[in-house]
Amino acid sequence: MSSLNLDDFTDLIERPDGGVRRDAEARRERQIVPPGSLGRLDDLGEWLAAAQGAVPVRPIRQPRVVLFAGDHGIAELGVSARPAGTAAELVREVLEGGRPGAVLARRLGVSLRVVDMALDCAPDAFPEDVVRHRVRRGSGRIDIEDALTPEEAEAAFRAGVAVADEEADSGTDLVVLGDVSVGGTTAAGVLVAALCGTDASVVTGRGGEAIDDLAWMRKCAAIRDALRRARPVLGDQLQLLATVGGADLAAMTGFLLQCAVRKVPVVLDGVVAAACALVGQRIAFRAPDWWLAGQRSGEPGQAKALDRMALEPLLDQGVTVGEGAGALLALPLVQAAAALAAELPEKPEESSEKESEASEASGESGVFEASGTEPAEE
């Protein structure tokens, strides 16, 4: 019998510190640039302060890109622009630095980690630090069979929790979360449609490499068929991930929840990360308070999931390639918010007092002038 109790996450996850956020807002009121004049950067800085429990907010010194990788059996139906079972090629290119996510991470000076959960290749195809959490090779075709056994789903979920602990223990202070998969957006679409109670066509997008109309119709049909299998297990999130998810998606869900437990902020990339976050929200309703949406990819499933979690993307760039690339574009924005919140000087106290007195005098004068009459004589 499993010892994993997902309900524990509801008790373990706290919201970012509201008192610290109020202190950050008060400090922002005292800074030389008027509140609101920095737009959303103000809110970001205050959110970071609450997440860190510190005023002024600390700089983001050790961000990390974490990518969970896996192949999905549903890709056999031609729902992806890439052939089924070829996610290992993408992982190799990421590790060699030739993919968009790797290029951006290198340019931004951010370390990148790939976690193989279910690549359809030999276990010795990659270094030990990549493959040591692997659960299985590939996954089941979710339109006709389960992606994972219950035991594999639990193992993958626990692996995600372990990776989150490893990152928190190593000093990672912000995670950019993404995926490297073939067929992953189809599984993500099923999760979003099931959890949002909507039809397949509403969540079916073109994927990472823009499939044509025929492939889109195959993908839509695959999501529709898998959705029929998902609905009976909606009350059990781990069983849902076993039925229509995959080892990489189960691991990402565990990772997201444990990051919230460990108070490590996460920037979500595309539809796969958003779908896992939506499952995480079902498990622990406070968890989304620790996550940011990096960018709007244009995938309808991502938009549906983010709307359900009330997460507004920081950017609107339409990046669908995965690999954390879209979320990485938002990282400088988050770092800028932290720097401005911490480094903008406060107004001199004397100046603040004069402004306050002038404001009070102006208010008293305004009341008298607005009446348009002289005080009555006694």
Confidence (pLDDT) at 169? 98
Whole-number Å distance between alpha carbons of 154 and 202: 30
On the question of pLDDT at 362 being above 70, the answer is no
Listed in order, strand segments (DSSP E) in 216-342 are: 266-268, 291-293
pLDDT at residue 2, as a whole number: 65
Per residue in 181-206, pLDDT (tens digit) is 999 999 999 999 999 999 999 999 88
8-state DSSP, 331 = H
The mean pLDDT of 291-310, rounded to a whole number, is 96
Sign of CA dihedral 191, 193, 199, 205: negative
The pLDDT of residue 15 is above 90: yes
Distance CA 333, CA 142 (A): 38
> Which pLDDT does position 132 carry in this prediction?
95
Task: Select from 4, 145, 161 the least CA-distant residue to 68.
Answer: 161
Choice between 366 and 281, residue whose per-residue pLDDT is larger: 281
pLDDT of 88 strictly over 70: yes
Question: What's the confidence (pLDDT) of residue 239?
Answer: 97
- Spell out the residues 6+ positions from residue 111 whose beta carbon is closer than 8 angstroms to its own: 64, 65, 105
φ, ψ (nearest 5 deg) of residue 177: -105, 130
Q: Tell me if 142 sits within 8 A of 273, measured CB to CB.
A: no
> What are the backbone dihedrals phi and psi of residue 151, each rounded to the nearest 5 degrees, phi first?
-65, -40
Catalytic positions, please?
A: 323
Identify the H or E element spanning 20: helix 18-30
For helices 18-30 and 40-52, the axis angle rounded to 10 degrees is 140
Distance CA 175, CA 178 (A): 10
> Bridge partners of 292?
267
Statement: residue 69 has pLDDT above 70: yes
Q: Residue 256 CB: number of other CB atoms within 10 A?
A: 30
Secondary structure letter of residue 66 according to DSSP? E
For each of the domains in the chain, give its residue range(s) and CATH number, in order of start: 63-331 (3.40.50.10210)
Task: Tell me the pLDDT tens digit for each residue of 156-179.
Answer: 999 999 999 999 999 999 999 999
β-strands 266-268, 63-71 pairing: unpaired
Tokens read off for 325: 């690339």
Which pLDDT value is given to residue 209?
A: 74
* pLDDT tens, residue by residue, 236-285: 999 999 999 999 999 999 999 999 999 999 999 999 999 999 999 999 99
DSSP string across 110-174 = -EEEEEEEE-SS-GGGS-HHHHTT---SS---TTTS-SS-HHHHHHHHHHHHHHHHHHHHTT--E
| pLDDT at residue 366 in the model | 42
Q: Using CA atoms, how far apart are residues 301 and 303, in angstroms rounded to an integer?
A: 5
Band of residue 365 on the pLDDT scale cut at 50, 70, 90: very low
Distances (CA, A) of 149 to 135, 142, 156, 193: 11, 12, 11, 22
pLDDT of residue 9: 97
CA torsion sign for 254, 255, 257, 262 is: positive
Percent of the chain with pLDDT over 90: 87
User: Is-contact 36 42, C-beta < 8 A?
Assistant: yes
> 348 pLDDT band (50/70/90 cuts)?
confident
Backbone phi, psi, residue 267, to 5°: -100, 120
> pLDDT (tens digit, 9 = 90+) per residue, 123-134?
899 999 999 999
Q: How confident is the model at residue 377 (pLDDT cuts 50, 70, 90)?
A: very low
Please check the confidence at residue 116 and state whether its pLDDT lies above 90.
yes
Computed over every residue of the chain, the mean pLDDT equals 91
Q: Would you give the distance in Å from CA 84 to the centre of its chain?
A: 26
Amino acid at 189: G
pTM for this model (two decimals)? 0.90
